[in-house]
Structure 1
Amino acid sequence: MTRKATRKTKPASVEGLPADWRKQAKALRRYGGETPATAIERCADDLEATLVERDETTFSLVEAARESGYTATHLGRLVRDGKIPNAGRPNAPRIARRHLPRKAPAEAPLAEEPGPRERSNTQIVQSIIQRGME
């Protein structure tokens, strides 16, 4: 008799792991696995605390600019306009990581010269001959 493989679903994100782990702990307890269930719950608690701490981390505008990809001036304007909550004091704004906007990474520009994989064998040989003569 063959067993049908069950497909585990991946958590939607790291933030979803503690809830998934608690479900696993509950299932383990149903089958008498008290010790591993307790260990998994402790891991879930630790991860949850780490995530909260990470989200509560605050940055100066300069640090936030490095982290987000936006300029410090732009981030300062967003705080001033109330679009991002100020996690600091008046005239000394700070931005919590959880409120930090993220700039989409810029796409790499197209290369003007062909890369090594785009060159023909003849071009590669000619390049080697020219470099050898230099």
Structure 2
Amino acid sequence: MKRMNDRPTVERLPADWRRQAKSLRRYGGETPATAIERCAADLDATLRERDETTLSLVEAARESGYSRDHLGRLVRDGKIPNAGRPNAPRIARRHLPRKAPAQAPLAEEPRPRERSNAQIVQSIIDCIDSFQYDPQPSSGSPVMSSNTGCYRGLR
């Protein structure tokens, strides 16, 4: 069973496709193997072209997650090669630093019940037991009363 992390990245696809083409060829699948190898070559060329594309500091900031000023500092300090001119720096996409994506917050684990069902039932029983029947209250009618306060909720 494949996990999410087992999915091939775009950069790994050409090599994966070439391995698949080799397997196909071994079993007589020359035509599909050739088609897959051509796709791998096309993707390799596209990835190289993408990596060679140069970006302004604003574009680079948008793609990398770092600020334009920070990227400009990295270029000035020589930590990233300047693919542009001295006062108009550009950064090749392949040299872009990438901020790690913010981790999605973990789903909150369900909290264990504070009380078991048995404890809840026992609380109800205790509450009922705490009521006192007063057949002769000052009001004249019989009344149930509790001095435990359990009528406000379970203890």
TM-score with structure 1 setting the length = 0.67
Give ranges in structure 2 of 5+ residues lacking alignment: 106-155
Q: How many residues align?
A: 103
Change (3 A) 1:107 1:18: closer
1:36 aligned onto 2:32: yes
Other structure's SS at 1:59 match: strand
Change (3 A) 1:36 1:8: farther
For the aligned residue pairs, the C-alpha RMSD in angstroms reads: 2.5
| Deviation of 1:68 (Å) | 1.6
Moved over 6 A (4+): none
Other structure's SS at 1:95 match: strand
1:62 partner amino acid: V
* Distance in 2 of aligned mates of 1:43 and 1:102: 28
Change (3 A) 1:26 1:80: same
Other structure's SS at 1:76 match: helix
Change (3 A) 1:38 1:85: same
Larger deviation: 48-57 or 96-105? Answer: 96-105
Higher helix share: 1
Higher strand share: 2
- Any residues of structure 2 matched to 1:1-134 within 5 Å, and which? 10=6, 12-105=8-101
Could you say which structure has the larger radius of gyration? Answer: 2
- Identity of paired residues, percent? 83
Of structures 1 and 2, the one with the larger relative CO (CA 8 A, separation 6+) is 1
